[in-house]
């Protein structure tokens, strides 16, 4: 693949308009504010997404598994709504700009793909990743029960955990985790962590 790209973009490479990097993405130290374009390995998509979020980027255009892209765009209340959905949407605006059928690839994968564009938000929402993970590890439970089952994440005994949980508004405590909007998760976190 690298050789094909070198041949196709020889002029751009020579003019220093394009740099092709052939590295293990998870090991590579990304420069800040880069345009990231790539067809990423489906089995490490989440790891790549989390690395992009922690590194910062100007824009990302990624070919990912179709179902994965749809999960990223899911809304509260849907079964696809996940921790990654929340973490990505607090940092950027995801958009699917097209689909690629599996037949267009060599070798052919078993699934269709989507072209996912990530545009960083100007004003990002800060969420505690441990709090979000604790909720979404039990996303079909109520917020109250999800947090109770996650007290080890916060290194709290039962009494301290109940004190923290009781700081959260009742209207949120009785909701299922996957029903919470990002502003509601943010509000729960503020109340829980204060």
Encode pLDDT of 131-156 as tens digits.
999 999 999 999 999 999 999 999 99
Q: Of how many residues is the chain composed? A: 194
Q: Which of these three, 91, 120, 149, is where a domain ends? A: 120
Whether this prediction's pTM lies above 0.75 is answered by yes
Task: Say how far apart CA 134 and CA 149 lie, in whole Å.
Answer: 8
Say if 25 falls within a structural domain: no
Task: Say how far apart CA 62 and CA 112 lie, in whole Å.
Answer: 14
Q: Which of these three, 98, 120, 142, is where a domain ends? A: 120
Count Cβ atoms below 10 Å from residue 85 Cβ, excluding itself.
21
* Joined tokens for residue 183: 């502003």
The pLDDT tens digits for 48-102 are 999 998 888 899 999 999 999 999 999 999 999 999 999 999 999 999 999 999 9
Q: What domain range includes position 76?
A: 31-120
Provide the strand spans (E) within 70-111.
92-100
Residues 37 and 116 in one domain: yes
Task: Provide the number of structural domains found in the chain.
Answer: 2
The neighbouring-strand residues paired with 93 are 119
Task: Say how far apart CA 123 and CA 192 lie, in whole Å.
Answer: 23
The pLDDT of residue 53 is: 87
Q: Would the pLDDT of 20 be above 80? A: yes
Residues 60 and 114 in one domain: yes
> What DSSP character marks residue 124?
P
Provide the strand spans (E) within the chain.
35-39, 59-65, 92-100, 113-120
User: Which one, of 160, 124, 153, 128, lies nearest residue 138 by Cα?
Assistant: 153
Q: With bands split at pLDDT 50, 70 and 90, how would you rate the model's confidence at 32? A: confident
The pLDDT of residue 22 is: 87
Say if 134 falls within a structural domain: yes
Say if 12 falls within a structural domain: no
CATH code, domain carrying 164 = 1.10.8.100
CATH code, domain carrying 96 = 3.40.50.150
> What DSSP character marks residue 104?
G
What lies within 8 Å, CB to CB, of 194 at 6+ separation is 167
Task: Say how far apart CA 126 and CA 119 lie, in whole Å.
Answer: 17
Q: With bands split at pLDDT 50, 70 and 90, how would you rate the model's confidence at 26? A: very high
Q: Could you identify the residue written with the tokens 């940092």?
A: 91
């Amino acid at each position: 693949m690298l050789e094909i790209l070198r041949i196709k973009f020889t002029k751009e490479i020579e003019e220093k308009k394009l740099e092709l990097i052939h590295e293990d993405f998870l090991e590579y130290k990304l420069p800040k504010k880069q345009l990231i374009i790539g067809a990423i390995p489906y089995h490490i998509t989440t790891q790549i997404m989390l690395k992009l979020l922690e590194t910062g980027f100007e824009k990302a255009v990624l070919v990912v598994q179709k179902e994965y892209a749809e999960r990223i765009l899911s809304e509260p209340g849907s079964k696809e709504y996940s921790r990654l959905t929340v973490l990505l949407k607090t940092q950027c605006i995801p958009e699917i700009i097209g689909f690629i059928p599996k037949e267009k690839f060599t070798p052919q994968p078993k699934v269709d793909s989507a072209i996912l564009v990530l545009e960083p938000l100007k004003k990002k929402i800060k969420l505690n990743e441990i709090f979000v993970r604790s909720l979404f590890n039990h996303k079909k439970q109520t917020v109250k029960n999800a947090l109770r089952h996650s007290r080890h994440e916060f290194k709290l005994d039962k009494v301290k955990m109940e004190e923290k949980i009781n700081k959260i508004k009742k209207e949120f405590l009785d909701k299922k985790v996957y029903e919470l909007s990002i502003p509601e998760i943010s509000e729960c976190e503020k109340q829980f962590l204060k």
